[in-house]
Structure 1
Amino acid sequence: MTDTRTATAALTTLQTVFGYEQFRAHQQDIVDTVIAGGDALVLMPTGGGKSLCYQVPALVRPGCAVVISPLIALMQDQVDTLRQLGVRASFLNSSLAMEEVVAVERALLSGELDLLYIAPERLIQERSLALLERAHLALFAIDEAHCVSQWGHDFRADYLQLSLLHERFPSVPRIALTATADARTRAEIVQRLDLGQARQFVAGFDRPNICYRISLKQSPRQQLLRFLRDEHPEDAGIVYCLSRNKVEETAAWLCEQGFNALPYHAGLDARLRATHQSRFLREEGLVMVATIAFGMGIDKPDVRFVAHLDMPKTIEAYYQETGRAGRDGQPADAWMVYGLQDVIKLRQMMEGSEGSEEHKRAEQQRLNAMLGLCEITSCRRQALLHYFGDHLPGACGNCDTCLNPVDTWNGTEAAQKALSATYRTGQRFGVNHLVDVLRGNATERVTQLRHDELPTFGVGQDLDGNQWRSVFRQLVARGYLSVDMERHGALRLQEKCRPLLRGEEQLDLRRDQPQKAAKRQTKGALPEDIDVGLWEALRNCRRELAEAQGVPPYIIFNDRTLLEMCDTLPESLADMAHINGVGERKLDKYGADFLNVIRRHLAASTTSA
């Protein structure tokens, strides 16, 4: 356990360096554990304050903290953020010239660094390990620790060798951190990083400020355009697509519609990717259209929406990607459209992968869980948290199924007809052919195969084609049917369907409706009673300071800090010091500038009144 003096030092560091009055839930215990020399595994939602859990101990413990991060493109911004606070931080990665590397190494060995960020592939090199053995180390922080999981969506092979930290540096405490890990992934992190003796801190997965909204694909581009124009016309956000071509086409189309949009995927030139990422971090109101290659570790706090034009393949991926919205705790949207074709495409990709059969089966189960989340008729947040072993006692009131309760209907008979048509056609055909049989459409293919002579031909004329597609999609989502990729998307009956076919089970299905906007409890990130003129004046001041230094605006102050300035209207530097996010260094550097903005605005308002 830490003594009183050490605990006081941690709180003083939090207040004077980072500008926060108190630790959040779990942070104090984690910080105490690491300062005392213990190991820790930290599972905390994005925006929950994971970085402080190693940054505060790094400043309290003697020596330099080494932060292992897979995010080379973001290290510069992470270091810039710390330097703004007066923290002696640097990084080692492949972007540095040799003379810069030597300078950083010299600073480390001479005790001139508090934190050193390093990529895992560089860390495991013998030269780097020998360097660290000569340095005085405070701790190791393993960020994005889920990258060690071979079952995960962000697996990095270099992470598998990080158990050597315990072998080579047994007296240096380690803290592994992630926002995305189910029970299986947590167990794998413990095993592969040799954290069997570490205390585990699970702070929960809930992001109550994010409104989860999932709709059926009807006209995806128009659905996206309506969402952006109606709700986020000037906001920063991310649009995820499954393929590189779709990323580029969507980004170009959004630009034609008047949005400031950029593409990002692994096929772009590395320098162009870095430029686009830098612009997203530094500019306000920019939309990044990307594959999953973009986003891990993005620190931009004011991302107001994350949109998916294609369904992610796992709930872990969905949670990780949507978690990039609303890191500042202000209202944000996680918006998605999906269809059965997404499932077929993802399953084709899985079947074509080089993974083992066990791995493919696990991926299929995770895809089924993702589809189930899309089709659920109850609170989405409850289902999402339940997947990670978390519990929400009541409906959240901030997802589409809570804001606009789903209309259901007794689909037992329709499901029986769909399953019967699947069986009688030999379980060799996809949805469109089965819909033709049920609807009594005597197409050339139907008549050639003599499926117009089956008992199920024409028994489903009471539903239109889209309604039947909805029935089949929900039967797949609930495990009554599976998609056979070896037969190009043919549907096959599963054991689960027997009681339903025998009439021993009733089945309620969701009734698909034309998409309409969810009835939001909140609109945008600004409180209704805010002085918009002062808000914009503070943002302009922030933007000018950021441009002068070549850093993202949020590194100066984040939106939450500016909102608190608008609310409290500080009159002096002493008042300003009590605002969250204003530490001693930032108070000295920027306090007078922002006080002047507030004074000028209030004076102008008084004069005009």
Structure 2
Amino acid sequence: MDKHSVLKGYFGHDSFREGQEVLVDAILSGHDALGIMPTGAGKSICYQVPALLMRGITIVVSPLISLMKDQVNALIGCGVRAAYLNSSLSAEQYGRALTLASQGAFSLIYCAPERLLTPSFLSFAENADIAMVTVDEAHCVSQWGQDFRPSYLRIPEFISRLRRRPIVSAFTATATQRVKEDIISMLRLNSPEQVVTSFDRQNLYFGVESPPDKYERLCGILERNTDKSGIIYATSRKNVEELCERLSHDGYSVTRYHAGLDDVEKHRNQDDFLYDRKRIMVATNAFGMGIDKSNVSFVIHFNMPLDIESYYQEAGRCGRDGSFGECILLFSQRDVRTCRYMIEHDSGDNGLDEQTLAIVKKGQLARLDKMQRYCQTTDCLRGYILRYFGEKAPDRCTCSNKGGCSNCDGEFEDMDITIESQKVLSCVYRLAQRKLSFGEAVIADILKGRSTAKVTGFSLETLSTFGIMPDSTLVSIKRIIRFLETEGCLAKNAYGSYELTSRARAVLIERKPVKMKVPKKTPVKALGTSKAGRNIERSTTRPELFWRLRSLRNRKAQEEKLPAYIIFNDSSLRDMCEKLPRTEEEFMYISGVGEAKCRKYAKDFTAEICRFLDEQKRQQTVK
């Protein structure tokens, strides 16, 4: 077999997506590889196809113990010999799996990084023919990444213990340039083939809202997504508990997930969501990494997350099959304070020494600042994300056939803030004269004329700029401060305090006009309405047939005790509705149908399609 026959025969795809074939070819040529590809871009194909063509075993290192079973079941459903080795197995099951692995029974073996150097696994690996070690969620190796895991630092030690160095491949959905460099260095990749595909998920709509009542707005969004599956992220366990209880009381099909639940409930709730027994998952960021559920239609952040990396990875869990996905963040200033508190009061229970922990916290605070700016920018939200990851972006964006974010959909007007900007910059200048510098909170207090402890402690009420913006709110003053930073008139020093830049002169001395975009004041829209919610989802040919095929898929999933998306995702069902296959040969042309699935499901699905067509023909005859 070659790469194309493996792609079609096992996974049912006629061609590779952007970036996949380059990485597949590099691995098959014996080179290390690094793929940075957004959620839904098909990272797994990049190592699964070579694994099925190479002699020997591919070890997939993944932190996702709770999801390895589903990942392996999906591969087995495609006819791939795969297994997982983790703590969910009994001692007898684990021993049996290792024995089979030693006999060459599996092409791919998934395991957690903590297990690599255990005596039993190491004994197996040292004597096995390991062709490749694949590191999934590779950003976890970097202390500058959003999910740093010290256990990932031991992966190179495991590789060094093997009798010969295998090919090493690494994959992640999000990585800045600094994190990418860390991945290459810390995993000791040898001149890897590097592919960074576009972070632009064209099927996703991004929105940021600051409603007076978050819960009321949340319910409005849920009402326009009736019968669709989605995830609601909240910052804390307490928020998750309260939201889940309130939504359940109000009649929503909902379950919960956070690190405080015992393993039994975690697995039960996760399965309820994956198997579509519950429509909505309310969770902390403990849920979701590696979730392959293809029919998630919306992701709502009830609270602002800690960084853009986490937000984009979590938001990207909807629309994985190419269908329209709605990503809405409900923002408030309180979210910023909560996130800052969480970072500053991290006890360091993850095994980091004080110096390393300080470095990690510094990076977290810097990323939090960028996250806050995303929530408050009036520029294109999609463009903000793309530029954050080093990608060029247009001034305005699109999603499907409509606007692609709430800012590009919204209406703005220019507000002259020249005088307000001069007051802010003058305040920073007066502080510098006293050899002082502060962050936005203290500057806003001075301008507002608030005699806080810090203001009086430094005698800042004696400044000429004290109280010169009494009619402005603290929120609006802080917004102007951040805008001036964005415009390059202010810059933060190493301590997070603001200082003037050379550009400030044009505003302060030369009286250069300053204008800031602000939303136009318009009547409040009815709950649940938005451009994103108006017929933006890709239409389905023959919707009645789609629902019949979906019901058939769900029955098959229940019989086989598998999540429905592992049988077929919604895009495969839509393709069936479009192509109307009536024979096994025709069924092989459906997207996502490989040889194993064709043998297993073609008869039942083509029979349902034939019944539908016969019924349609009889109805036409009666008319």
- Normalising by structure 2, report the TM-score: 0.86
| Contact 1:307–1:334 (CA under 8 A) maintained in structure 2 | yes
Equivalences, count? 595
Note if 1:182 corresponds to 2:176.
Answer: yes
Counterpart CA distance in 2 for 1:363 and 1:606 is: 62
| Contact 1:340–1:473 (CA under 8 A) maintained in structure 2 | no
Q: Which residue of the partner structure matches residue 192 of structure 1?
A: 186
Instruction: Give the CA deviation at 1:378.
Output: 2.3
Which of 186, 200, 203 is 1:206 aligned to? 200
TM alignment of 1:166-565, pairs within 5 A: 166-169=159-162, 170-230=164-224, 232-283=225-276, 286-353=279-346, 354=348, 356=355, 357-393=358-394, 395-397=396-398, 398-417=404-423, 438=448, 460=469, 470-471=479-480, 474=483, 493-496=498-501, 498-499=504-505, 500-502=507-509, 504-512=511-519, 516=525, 517-520=529-532, 523=535, 525-527=537-539, 530-565=541-576
Deviations 1:15-69 (A, max 9, x none): 1111111112221221122122221111111111111111111111112211111
Counterpart CA distance in 1 for 2:257 and 2:587 is: 39
| Contact 1:43–1:204 (CA under 8 A) maintained in structure 2 | no
| Contact 1:451–1:457 (CA under 8 A) maintained in structure 2 | yes
Counterpart CA distance in 1 for 2:450 and 2:337 is: 24
Counterpart CA distance in 2 for 1:262 and 1:504 is: 56
Give secondary structure in 1 for the equivalent of 2:2: helix
| Contact 2:429–2:500 (CA under 8 A) maintained in structure 1 | no
Q: Which residue of the partner structure matches residue 4 of structure 1?
A: none
Instruction: Give the CA deviation at 1:349.
Output: 2.6
Counterpart CA distance in 2 for 1:429 and 1:105 is: 56
Give secondary structure in 2 for the equivalent of 1:511: strand
Counterpart CA distance in 1 for 2:20 and 2:275 is: 29
- Judged with a 3 Å threshold, the aligned counterparts in structure 2 of structure 1 residues 582 and 331 are, in CA distance, closer, same or farther, namely same
Q: Which residue of the partner structure matches residue 147 of structure 1?
A: 140
Instruction: Give the CA deviation at 1:344.
Output: 2.5
Give secondary structure in 1 for the equivalent of 2:328: strand
TM alignment of 1:100-115, pairs within 5 A: 100-115=93-108
Instruction: Give the CA deviation at 1:405.
Output: 4.2
Counterpart CA distance in 2 for 1:463 and 1:51 is: 52
Instruction: Give the CA deviation at 1:452.
Output: 10
Counterpart CA distance in 1 for 2:29 and 2:438 is: 63
Q: Which residue of the partner structure matches residue 582 of structure 1?
A: 593
Counterpart CA distance in 1 for 2:231 and 2:488 is: 32
- Judged with a 3 Å threshold, the aligned counterparts in structure 2 of structure 1 residues 585 and 442 are, in CA distance, closer, same or farther, namely closer
Counterpart CA distance in 1 for 2:470 and 2:82 is: 69
Counterpart CA distance in 2 for 1:470 and 1:216 is: 14
Unaligned segments of structure 2, at least 5 residues: 349-353, 399-403
Deviations 1:465-496 (A, max 9, x none): 77557546756877878999x9xxxx965335
Counterpart CA distance in 1 for 2:360 and 2:112 is: 27
Give secondary structure in 2 for the equivalent of 1:341: helix
- Judged with a 3 Å threshold, the aligned counterparts in structure 2 of structure 1 residues 408 and 234 are, in CA distance, closer, same or farther, namely farther
Between 216-225 and 61-70, report the one with greater CA deviation: 216-225
- Judged with a 3 Å threshold, the aligned counterparts in structure 2 of structure 1 residues 502 and 360 are, in CA distance, closer, same or farther, namely farther
| Contact 1:435–1:468 (CA under 8 A) maintained in structure 2 | no
Counterpart CA distance in 1 for 2:254 and 2:515 is: 41
| Contact 1:138–1:172 (CA under 8 A) maintained in structure 2 | yes
Counterpart CA distance in 1 for 2:54 and 2:461 is: 78
Q: Which residue of the partner structure matches residue 17 of structure 1?
A: 10
| Contact 1:237–1:285 (CA under 8 A) maintained in structure 2 | no
| Contact 1:88–1:112 (CA under 8 A) maintained in structure 2 | yes
Between 568-577 and 354-363, report the one with greater CA deviation: 354-363
Instruction: Give the CA deviation at 1:171.
Output: 3.5
Which of 32, 42, 45 is 2:38 aligned to? 45
| Contact 1:571–1:595 (CA under 8 A) maintained in structure 2 | yes
| Contact 2:446–2:461 (CA under 8 A) maintained in structure 1 | no
Counterpart CA distance in 2 for 1:168 and 1:464 is: 62
- Please give the root-mean-square deviation of Cα atoms over the aligned residues, in Å: 3.4
- Judged with a 3 Å threshold, the aligned counterparts in structure 2 of structure 1 residues 523 and 473 are, in CA distance, closer, same or farther, namely farther
| Contact 2:255–2:278 (CA under 8 A) maintained in structure 1 | no
Alignment-mate amino acid for residue 201 of structure 1: V
Note if 1:30 corresponds to 2:23.
Answer: yes
- Judged with a 3 Å threshold, the aligned counterparts in structure 2 of structure 1 residues 575 and 480 are, in CA distance, closer, same or farther, namely same
| Contact 1:375–1:477 (CA under 8 A) maintained in structure 2 | no
Alignment-mate amino acid for residue 308 of structure 2: I
Counterpart CA distance in 2 for 1:430 and 1:466 is: 10
Instruction: Give the CA deviation at 1:352.
Output: 2.6
Unaligned segments of structure 1, at least 5 residues: 1-7
Q: Which residue of the partner structure matches residue 153 of structure 2?
A: 160
Note if 1:94 corresponds to 2:87.
Answer: yes
- Judged with a 3 Å threshold, the aligned counterparts in structure 2 of structure 1 residues 28 and 570 are, in CA distance, closer, same or farther, namely same
What is the percentage of aligned positions where both structures have the same residue?
37
Give secondary structure in 2 for the equivalent of 1:51: helix
Alignment-mate amino acid for residue 511 of structure 1: V
- Judged with a 3 Å threshold, the aligned counterparts in structure 2 of structure 1 residues 526 and 600 are, in CA distance, closer, same or farther, namely farther
Alignment-mate amino acid for residue 310 of structure 2: A
Alignment-mate amino acid for residue 381 of structure 1: R
Between 491-500 and 298-307, report the one with greater CA deviation: 491-500
| Contact 2:490–2:504 (CA under 8 A) maintained in structure 1 | no
| Contact 1:34–1:173 (CA under 8 A) maintained in structure 2 | yes
Q: Which residue of the partner structure matches residue 58 of structure 2?
A: 65
Deviations 1:136-178 (A, max 9, x none): 2232111111111112111111100111244233442111111
Alignment-mate amino acid for residue 604 of structure 2: D
Between 317-326 and 164-173, report the one with greater CA deviation: 164-173
- Judged with a 3 Å threshold, the aligned counterparts in structure 2 of structure 1 residues 225 and 423 are, in CA distance, closer, same or farther, namely farther
Alignment-mate amino acid for residue 189 of structure 1: I
Give secondary structure in 1 for the equivalent of 2:14: coil
Instruction: Give the CA deviation at 1:603.
Output: 1.9
- Judged with a 3 Å threshold, the aligned counterparts in structure 2 of structure 1 residues 531 and 436 are, in CA distance, closer, same or farther, namely farther
Give secondary structure in 2 for the equivalent of 1:162: helix
Alignment-mate amino acid for residue 596 of structure 1: A
Counterpart CA distance in 1 for 2:500 and 2:170 is: 42
Deviations 1:187-243 (A, max 9, x none): 00011100142221212222111111112243211222222213x122111111111
Counterpart CA distance in 2 for 1:145 and 1:243 is: 25
| Contact 1:160–1:192 (CA under 8 A) maintained in structure 2 | yes
Between 414-423 and 180-189, report the one with greater CA deviation: 414-423
Counterpart CA distance in 2 for 1:593 and 1:51 is: 28
Alignment-mate amino acid for residue 190 of structure 1: I
| Contact 1:422–1:429 (CA under 8 A) maintained in structure 2 | no
- Judged with a 3 Å threshold, the aligned counterparts in structure 2 of structure 1 residues 476 and 240 are, in CA distance, closer, same or farther, namely farther
- Judged with a 3 Å threshold, the aligned counterparts in structure 2 of structure 1 residues 218 and 107 are, in CA distance, closer, same or farther, namely same
Give secondary structure in 2 for the equivalent of 1:141: strand
